[in-house]
Structure 1
Amino acid sequence: MKKLTIAAALAAATMLATPAQAADPEGKIQVKVLATGVLPDGKIESVNVNLTAAPSAALATKANDNVVPTLAVEYFATPNVSVETICCFTQHHVTGTGAIAGADIAQHVLILPATVTLKYHFNAGGIKPYVGAGPAVFFYFDEKPGATAQALGATKLKMDNKFGVALQAGVDVPLGDSGLGISLDAKRYFMKAKTHFYTAGGVEALSTTHKLDPWVVSGGVYARF
C-alpha cells in the first residue's frame, strides 16, 4: 500500500508539472489522481449457515475504514456527458460489535471495486459540478478468517463477488484554461457481500450476508487531454 501511495504522489506531481499546452480544457480524456477514503458499513443482514457455538442472534460486525490512492479515467462523449471508471485496491478487516465486540472475524480482505459511471456535468461558471450513476462489482482477494473465527474452527474464508450500484456527485474546479484542475468526488455504493467460512475438512461452518454500502470520498487533481 505504501508503494501505491508513493506512485500516486509521483503521478500527481508529474501531472501538475506538465506544461499547460500539453493539456486541453475541452479534451475528450480526463485523468484524475485522488486520495480516497473508503467507509464501509459491514453489518450482518442475515446468518445463512451457522454450525459454530456462537448464537446467531449475537453475531454483529463492522468493517474498518481505509484511505487509498485512486486513479480515475474519464471519456467525454459530449461537453456535458462522460463515462468514468476507477482503479484502486482497498484492504479491510471485519470485527465484532455488540455482544461479540472486539471479535476478530476476518482479516486482510482485499477488494477491487470495479465501477463504471455515466456522468452529467453542469456548467456553473468557474466550477463544474456533476452527478452520475452506474454498475459496480466488488472482487475479493486473499480473504483470511480472523483469530476468533479460526478459534471456532474456520480455516478458510471465501467471499462472493457481487454486483451493485453506485451513485456519484462531485465537482471539478479548473485551474484557469490549462486543462488542469482540482476534483472532489463522493460515491455511495449499494452493495452486499456473502461470506463463507469453511473448516479444515471443507465443511461450511458459517455463512453470513453483509451490508457493505460504503461511502467512497475522494479529493485530488486532474488533467484533461
Structure 2
Amino acid sequence: MKCRYFALAALAIALAVPGQAAAKSGDVQFKLLATYVAPDGKIQDVKLDLIGLPAGTQTKADDNIVPTMAIEYFVSDNISLETIAGVTQHDVVGRGGLAGAGLVSNANIVPATLTLKYHFGKDGGARPYVGAGLSYFIFIDEKPGATAVALGATRQKMGDSLGMAFQAGIDVPVNAKGLAVTFDAKRYLVHSTARWFAGPTEVLRTRHKLDPWVVSAGLAFRF
C-alpha cells in the first residue's frame, strides 16, 4: 500500500512541475536520502560450536533508519554509475532455542556499493531506472551482546564480505534546474561469518545470511 502512495505522489509531482532536461553524458547527480535498512541475519551454518547451542537456535538482525548519500555519474544519457555512502548499526538477537538473547551488539556496517544503472523516460518527465552491481560489507567495532558476555564471550567479530546489489527506483523532477525527488529500493545478496571468542580461544563460528532490503527516499541535485 505504501509503495502505491509513493508512486501516486511521484506521478502527481511529475505532472505538476515544469519540464526538466534529462541527464546527459558527463552529468553528476548527488542524492541526500533517508534510508531504511532491513537485514535478515539468520544462521545458515554452524562451523564451530564449543558452547553447545540449544537445538533450534536461530538469529535475527534488527532494522535501522539512517541518513545516506549517493553520488552518480552519467557515462551516457541513459547509463550511470552510482555509489552510496553511509553507516548503519545493528544488533543480532537469538530466536528459537536462544529467543531474545543478545548475541551481537552495535555492529556498524559500511555497505560500500557500486552499481551500473539504466534510466528510462524522456525530457521533462519522471525517470525510472534499474541497476545492479557489487557491494563489500565492512564491519566496524562490533561487540558481543549481553547474553554472549554472560556466557563468557570477551570478543566478537563479523567477517567483511563481498556480495551483489540489485536496485530499482525513480527520479521525479521538481524544477527545471536539476532538483528532483528520488525513491530507491535495493536488495543485497551478501553473507558473513560471525566469530565469538573467550579470551584467545574461538568458541563459536556461524555463517549468516544478511541479504538486507535497503529502501530510500530523498532529494537529488544534478550538475
TM-score by length of 1: 0.86
Q: Does 1:102 align with 2:110?
A: no
Per-residue deviation at 1:104? Answer: 0.6
1:40 partner amino acid:
P
CA distance in 2, matches of 1:79, 1:152: 57
CA distance in 2, matches of 1:54, 1:176: 58
Of the three residues 90, 97, 120, the one matched with 1:92 is 90
Unaligned runs of 5+ in 2: 1-20
Which position in structure 1 is the counterpart of 2:5?
A: none
Which position in structure 1 is the counterpart of 2:214?
A: 216
Deviations 1:170-222 (A, max 9, x none): 0000113220000000000001010010111x111000011000000000001
Report 1:86-165 matches (<5 A).
Answer: 86-123=84-121, 126-165=125-164
CA distance in 2, matches of 1:117, 1:52: 41
Which position in structure 1 is the counterpart of 2:31?
A: 32
Per-residue deviation at 1:99? Answer: 2.3
Which position in structure 2 is the counterpart of 1:206?
A: 204
8 Å contact from structure 1 (residues 25, 178) kept in 2: no
- SS state at 1:148 partner: helix
Of the three residues 59, 75, 78, the one matched with 2:76 is 78
Which position in structure 2 is the counterpart of 1:193?
A: 192
- Percent identity between matched residues is 53
Unaligned runs of 5+ in 1: 1-22
Tell me whether 95-104 or 188-197 shows the greater mean CA deviation: 95-104
Which position in structure 1 is the counterpart of 2:49?
A: 50
8 Å contact from structure 2 (residues 23, 74) kept in 1: no
TM-score by length of 2: 0.87
- SS state at 1:70 partner: strand
Per-residue deviation at 1:25? Answer: 5.4
Query: Size of the alignment, in residue pairs?
Result: 201
2:75 partner amino acid:
A
8 Å contact from structure 1 (residues 198, 205) kept in 2: yes
Per-residue deviation at 1:133? Answer: 0.2
8 Å contact from structure 2 (residues 23, 77) kept in 1: no
